[in-house]
């Protein structure tokens, strides 16, 4: 008799635990006075350096090669920057029953953020999907998001976005877009160094985001914004985000099937089109919302962990479903035919 395997525990991203620890530190020891000024200045520099590294890492040649699969990338971009924001606007009807105005604004901001890269690739690979397409789709989304996310925020959040203003757009250009472009321009000289020291620079990435979170939540504590969030409102936010994630997972999977995509492409579309990037969203929120960034990023932080847990389960099931076995058998038969010279020419 075969031994029954115990199911693996649902993964909790250790980095999310670090983020929560940073939030706790900001709640207990918020930066004040001169310390707040120093933290704010360091956070601004950290954000600029973070996006400089993003620009230095992104291979323009790989992005251009990925344009050959343009239908898939357009589908992912439409899910990320059209369908998601429309659902975010629909949550306005949940105020004040389930959400407060600041939480709904943060939820709407969540829907404007670009897709992830690393987790989309990891889950697509785990589910035996089209990994190159996931790489290109995530890269395109991050690149487009640097410009599109602030523009959507200006159009949809406006003056009611908890501190969003025209100055925020200038801040986005100076702190995000300019460093990103500089990284792209210098990539031919520093790209090798960045690739060789990926792990060390990855720690710098994450450390920069932790600094951004500490600064944002410190300002929130000093301003007293956390008194606006009750356990009931927090539970309501989690319920809304669960529904949002479920809708996007179903829409990306069955919508991609209706559009005629094969299984491998549908997997890439589902995992790239249903997720939002914490790494891109946190710095953007810090620039856009200022002292109100703590409430603005709370929905994104919760959604990030939720999407990782749910997508990990889905990816494991996709890897073992009958359709995956059929796809592998068809791929193996095709390769055998080509090897014996009987395949299509």
Residue range 222-256, pLDDT digits in tens: 777 666 678 889 899 999 999 999 999 999 999 99
Which one, of 331, 39, 342, 339, lies nearest residue 208 by Cα? 39
Residue-wise pLDDT for 271-323, tens only, equals 999 999 988 888 888 887 766 677 888 899 889 889 988 998 899 888 887 66
pLDDT value, residue 170: 72
Percent of the chain scoring above 90 in pLDDT: 28
Cis, bond preceding 125 (omega within 30 deg of 0): no
Identify the weakest region by mean pLDDT among 9-13, 198-202, 294-298.
Answer: 9-13
Q: What average pLDDT does this structure show over 43-71? A: 76
Distance CA 117, CA 114 (A): 9
115-136 confidence digits (pLDDT tens): 988 788 889 988 989 988 888 8
Average pLDDT over residues 78-107: 94
What is the Cα–Cα distance from 136 to 242, expressed in whole angstroms? Answer: 27
pLDDT band (50, 70, 90) for residue 107: very high
In the 8-state DSSP scheme, what is residue 343? S
Q: With contact defined as beta carbons under 8 Å apart, do 26 and 217 qualify? A: yes
CA distance 119 to 94: 30
Give the number of residues written for the chain. 345
* C-alpha span between 183 and 189 (Å, rounded): 10
Confidence class for position 92, pLDDT limits 50, 70, 90: very high
Q: How far is CA 149 from the centre of its chain?
A: 12
Phi then psi dihedrals of residue 4, to 5 deg: -75, 130
pLDDT of residue 164: 52
| Class of residue 345 by CB neighbours under 10 A (exposed 0-12, middle 13-18, buried 19+) | exposed
The region of weakest confidence among 186-190, 305-309, 316-320, 328-332 is 328-332
CA distance 137 to 260: 18
For residues 188-199, one letter each, b for 16 or more C-beta atoms within 10 angstroms of the residue's C-beta and e for the rest, the string is eeebeebeeeee
| C-alpha–C-alpha distance, residues 144 and 120, integer Å | 17
Cite the DSSP H helix spans in the chain. 14-28, 33-57, 60-65, 70-78, 84-90, 101-112, 118-126, 131-156, 166-172, 178-196, 198-223, 231-258, 263-273, 278-289, 293-320, 322-340
Asked if the 14-320 domain carries CATH number 1.20.1530.20, the reply is yes
> Average pLDDT, whole number, for the chain?
81
266-269 LR contacts (CB < 8 Å, sep 24+): 266/129, 267/124, 267/127, 267/128, 267/129, 267/130, 267/318, 268/72, 268/76, 268/120, 268/124, 268/129, 268/130, 268/131, 268/133, 268/134, 268/137, 269/72, 269/75, 269/76, 269/79, 269/137
> Worst-scoring range by mean pLDDT, 8-12, 211-215, 341-345?
341-345
Helix-helix angle 70-78:263-273, to 10 degrees: 30
- Count CA atoms within 13 Å of residue 140 on its CB side: 29
Binning pLDDT at 50, 70 and 90, where does residue 220 land?
confident
3, pLDDT greater than 60: no
Q: Name residue, tokens 């809304």.
A: 240
Indicate whether 345 pLDDT > 80.
no
Distance CA 147, CA 70 (A): 20
Q: Residue 326: is its pLDDT beyond 90?
A: no
For residues 95-112, average pLDDT: 92
Q: Which tokens belong to 163? A: 């501190």
Q: Which CB contacts under 8 angstroms, 24+ apart, belong to 19-22?
A: 19/209, 19/210, 19/213, 19/301, 22/210, 22/213, 22/214, 22/217
Q: What is the pLDDT of residue 308?
A: 86
- pLDDT band of residue 334 (cuts 50, 70, 90) is very low
Find the mean pLDDT for residues 3-9: 46
């Amino acid at each position: 008799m075969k031994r029954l395997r115990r199911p693996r525990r649902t993964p909790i991203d250790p980095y999310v635990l670090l983020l929560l620890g940073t939030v706790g530190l900001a709640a207990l020891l918020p930066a004040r006075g001169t310390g707040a000024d120093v933290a704010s200045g360091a956070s601004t520099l950290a954000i600029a350096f973070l996006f400089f590294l993003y620009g230095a890492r992104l291979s323009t040649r790989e992005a251009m090669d990925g344009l050959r699969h343009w239908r898939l990338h357009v589908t992912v971009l439409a899910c990320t920057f059209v369908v998601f924001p429309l659902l975010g606007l629909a949550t306005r009807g949940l105020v004040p029953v389930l959400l407060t105005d600041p939480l709904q604004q943060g939820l709407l901001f969540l829907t404007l953020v670009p897709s992830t890269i690393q987790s989309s690739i990891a889950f697509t690979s785990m589910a035996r999907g089209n990994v190159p397409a996931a790489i290109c789709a995530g890269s395109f989304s991050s690149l487009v998001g640097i410009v599109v996310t602030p523009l959507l925020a200006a159009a949809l959040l406006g003056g009611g976005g908890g501190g969003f203003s025209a100055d925020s757009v200038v801040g986005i250009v100076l702190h995000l877009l300019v460093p990103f472009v500089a990284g792209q321009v210098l990539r031919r000289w520093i790209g090798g160094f960045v690739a060789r020291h990926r792990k060390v620079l990855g720690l710098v990435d994450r450390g920069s985001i932790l600094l951004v979170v500490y600064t944002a939540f410190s300002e929130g504590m000093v301003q007293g914004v956390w008194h606006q969030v009750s356990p009931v409102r927090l539970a309501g936010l989690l319920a809304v985000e669960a529904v949002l994630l479920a809708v996007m997972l179903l829409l990306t999977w069955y919508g991609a099937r209706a559009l005629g995509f094969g299984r491998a492409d549908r997997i890439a579309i589902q995992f790239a089109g249903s997720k939002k990037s914490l790494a891109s969203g946190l710095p953007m929120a810090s620039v856009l919302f200022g002292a109100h960034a703590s409430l603005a990023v709370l929905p994104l932080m919760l959604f990030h962990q939720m999407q990782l847990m749910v997508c990990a389960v889905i990816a494991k099931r996709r890897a073992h479903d009958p359709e995956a076995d059929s796809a592998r058998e068809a791929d193996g038969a095709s390769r055998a035919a080509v090897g014996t010279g009987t395949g299509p020419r």
